[in-house]
Amino acid sequence: MEHQFKSGDVVKLKSGGSSMTVESINEEDRQYVTCVWHEGKKPYREVYLASTLEPYKQGVAAIGPLRL
Tell me the pLDDT tens digit for each residue of 40-62. 999 999 999 999 999 998 875 55
Label residue 36 by pLDDT band (50, 70, 90).
very high
Per-residue pLDDT for 1 more than 80? Answer: no
Residue 39 belongs to some domain of the structure:
yes
The total number of structural domains that make up the chain: 1
pTM (global) more than 0.85: no
Rounded distance, CA 47 to CA 35, Å? 6
Is there a domain that residue 3 lies in? no
| 64 domain residue, yes or no | no
pLDDT (mean) for 18-29: 94
d(CA 13, CA 19): 8
* Domain with 43 in it: 10-55
Query: Nearest-5° angle of CA 23, CA 29, CA 35?
Result: 20
